[in-house]
């Protein structure tokens, strides 16, 4: 008789996993019930830290079996699962905040897993959260020795990421979805306010109806913003051929007062609960005299993270040191992100090309590119993999793309190659290649982003550099009102009706966080 052991990952579940949907059950309840009914299930183990296990015991009148996790490294999690899996033929793993785990899909996946004698099986092309991952018990100890992931709470796909390190050594089977909706980036986990609302609006979705169900509920994909860009300073240190000039008629306020920034941060935390906040749109954040205070205030909210986009110029050692201390002293994030991310806009490997992009003489370009490069290396020593040297790919610098990537990849972990944005044809078209999908879909930024200029005004999106469509003001309007004004435009796009700036947009398929 085949026996499976099923592990439910409850790594620091938050309140949304235990909040009841309109159906009367919470995400945790639905996930546990589904896991208990998986094929050949003999035992369900809840992998949880001590705090979460106490919460579950206090909340539900049911005898759960726990395996306490104090070390959240993938190595520790694999070892724990291995210790419990000795007498079982198969190991199932899923997350405890996944309300739509589908028994029929899981059974089909397991049948395929058994038929082909796979070591590791998963589904692909479905929205995340429909099916568990299936492993042989012997694979767990091998993966324990392979994995370098230090915190599985930040890497939901930690099993696949570990398998990928030596992927040709394992027998892997994939169950492919009939309709590939990966471009929607849907994750059905009730781990944030945004995700809870999405799941609540999708009750009734299953693996055999997901494509039709999502198509009938496309309005529900317009959720709370997860990315906010606040232009704390619209002043620039460099003029760039890929950035628009400031429109003084639309906005003449150069710096947002820190009290205004704090007020907006409060509203973001209250409205979205979790988010990544960029402190620039086109301007240079280092030019704000209260930058360190703003960073500290944002990071006082455990579910908010920061993105700093900068030219890498005019940063003093003292300011960098202060920010390092603020980040080091900040509480651990509870939004799945790092406290801070850095993007340094370099765009060239040679000072000649750098000067051409920014309108500088060779001598000035040489000095500034060296300064920006040294700043990037300094940041990487202090902050590690969250530092991204960026290259805006254009006709003008295409010849340096490969050398830029190779050069920086030897020095840092991540390099960001960014497509050129012509701002709905307002700028000269410098793009090297057309990356747009064959079929257009509604704009990701309209669904998930909010941009706030230095006077508090909120344009339709980043492309609306002249504020032709103002949705409101972040300092005076509530965010629900602002989002309600954006929704009709999203609704038009669902009907493939693209008007105004949207008609000429080439950014709708790109995304931030």
Whether 371 contacts 313, CB under 8 Å = yes
Sheet strands (E) in 365-504: 387-393, 416-419, 449-452, 457-459, 470-473
Q: 24-30: which pairs have CB atoms within 8 A and are 24 or more residues apart?
A: 25/99, 26/99, 26/190, 27/96, 27/97, 27/98, 27/99, 27/189, 27/190, 27/196, 27/199, 28/56, 28/60, 28/96, 28/97, 29/60, 30/99, 30/100, 30/101
| Torsion (CA) 65, 69, 72, 77 in degrees, nearest 10 | -60
Evaluate if residue 251 carries a pLDDT over 80: no
Q: 62-65: which pairs have CB atoms within 8 A and are 24 or more residues apart?
A: 64/32
DSSP characters over 317-346: HHHHHHHHHHHHHSPPPSSSS-SEEEEEE-
> What is the value of pTM for the model shown?
0.94
Express each pLDDT in 310-349 by its tens digit.
Answer: 999 999 999 999 999 999 999 999 998 999 999 999 999 9
Residue in the block written with tokens 């000067």: 355
Evaluate if residue 361 carries a pLDDT over 80: yes
Q: What pLDDT does 39 receive? A: 87
Coil, strand, or helix at residue 68? strand
Express each pLDDT in 130-172 by its tens digit.
Answer: 999 999 999 999 999 999 898 898 889 999 999 999 999 999 9
Mean pLDDT of 388-414: 97
Q: Between vectors from CA 278 to CA 410 and to CA 376, what angle results, nearest 5°?
A: 25
Q: What pLDDT does 282 receive? A: 95
Would you list the domain boundaries of the chain?
4-221, 227-503
Sheet strands (E) in 356-474: 387-393, 416-419, 449-452, 457-459, 470-473
Partnered with residue 473 across adjacent β-strands are 457
Q: What pLDDT does 250 receive? A: 63
Whether 419 contacts 393, CB under 8 Å = yes
Instruction: Quote the CA–CA distance of 46 and 53 in Å, as a whole number.
Output: 8
Q: What pLDDT does 12 receive? A: 79
Express each pLDDT in 91-116 by its tens digit.
Answer: 999 999 999 999 999 999 999 999 99
4-221 matches 227-503 in fold = no
Q: What pLDDT does 248 receive? A: 66
Q: What pLDDT does 504 receive? A: 95
CATH 3.20.20.70 fits 227-503, yes or no: yes
Express each pLDDT in 425-473 by its tens digit.
Answer: 999 999 999 999 998 999 999 999 999 999 999 999 999 998 999 999 9
How would you classify residue 97: left for phi > 0, otherwise alpha for psi between -120 and 50, otherwise beta? alpha
- pLDDT, averaged across the chain: 95
What's the CATH number for 4-221? 3.90.550.10
Instruction: Quote the CA–CA distance of 109 and 132 in Å, as a whole number.
Output: 9
First to last CA, the chain: 46
């Amino acid at each position: 008789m085949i026996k499976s052991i099923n592990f439910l990952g409850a790594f620091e579940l938050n309140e949304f996993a235990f909040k009841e949907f309109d159906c009367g059950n919470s995400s945790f309840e639905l996930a546990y019930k589904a896991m208990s009914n998986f094929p050949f299930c003999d035992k369900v183990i809840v992998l949880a830290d001590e705090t979460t296990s106490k919460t579950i015991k206090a909340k539900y009148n049911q005898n759960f079996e726990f395996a306490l996790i104090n070390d959240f490294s993938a190595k520790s999690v694999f070892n724990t699962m291995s210790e419990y899996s000795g007498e079982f033929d198969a190991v199932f793993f899923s997350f405890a905040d996944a309300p739509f785990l589908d028994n029929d899909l899981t059974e089909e996946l397991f049948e395929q897993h058994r038929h082909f004698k796979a070591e590791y099986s998963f589904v692909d092309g479905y929205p995340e959260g429909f099916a568990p991952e299936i492993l042989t018990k012997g694979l767990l100890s091998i993966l324990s020795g392979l994995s370098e992931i230090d915190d599985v709470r930040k890497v939901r796909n930690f099993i696949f990421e570990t398998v990928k390190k030596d992927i040709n050594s394992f027998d892997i089977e994939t169950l492919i979805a009939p309709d590939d909706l990966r471009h929607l980036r849907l994750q059905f986990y009730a781990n944030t306010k945004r995700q809870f609302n999405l799941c609540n609006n999708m009750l009734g979705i299953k693996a055999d109806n997901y494509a039709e169900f999502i198509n009938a509920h496309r309005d529900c994909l317009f959720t709370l913003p997860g990315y906010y860009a606040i232009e704390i300073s619209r002043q620039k240190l460099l003029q760039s051929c890929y950035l628009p000039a400031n429109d003084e008629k639309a906005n003449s306020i150069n710096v947002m007062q820190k009290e205004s920034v704090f007020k907006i941060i409060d509203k973001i935390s209250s409205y979205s609960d979790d988010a990544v906040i960029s402190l620039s749109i086109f301007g240079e954040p280092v030019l704000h005299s209260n930058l360190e205070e703003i960073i500290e205030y944002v990071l006082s909210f455990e579910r908010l993270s920061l993105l700093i986009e900068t030219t890498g110029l005019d940063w003093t050692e003292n300011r960098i040191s202060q920010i390092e201390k603020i980040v080091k002293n900040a509480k651990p994030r509870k939004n799945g992100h790092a406290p801070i991310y850095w993007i340094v806009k370099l765009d060239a490997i040679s000072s000649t090309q750098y000067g051409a992009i920014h309108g500088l003489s060779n001598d000035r370009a040489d000095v500034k590119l060296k300064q920006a490069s040294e700043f990037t290396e300094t940041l990487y020593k202090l902050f590690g993999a969250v530092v991204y040297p960026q290259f805006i790919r254009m006709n003008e610098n295409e010849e340096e793309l490969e050398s830029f990537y190779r050069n920086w990849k030897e020095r840092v972990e991540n390099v960001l190659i960014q497509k050129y944005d012509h701002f709905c044809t307002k700028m000269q078209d410098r793009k090297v290649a057309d990356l747009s999908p064959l079929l257009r879909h509604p704009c990701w930024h309209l669904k998930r982003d909010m941009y706030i200029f230095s006077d508090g005004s909120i344009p339709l999106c980043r492309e609306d550099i002249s504020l032709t469509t103002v949705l409101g003001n972040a300092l005076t309007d509530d965010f629900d009102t602002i989002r309600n004004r954006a929704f009709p435009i999203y609704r038009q796009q669902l009907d493939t009706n693209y008007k105004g700036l949207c008609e000429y947009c080439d950014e709708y398929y790109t995304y931030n966080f």
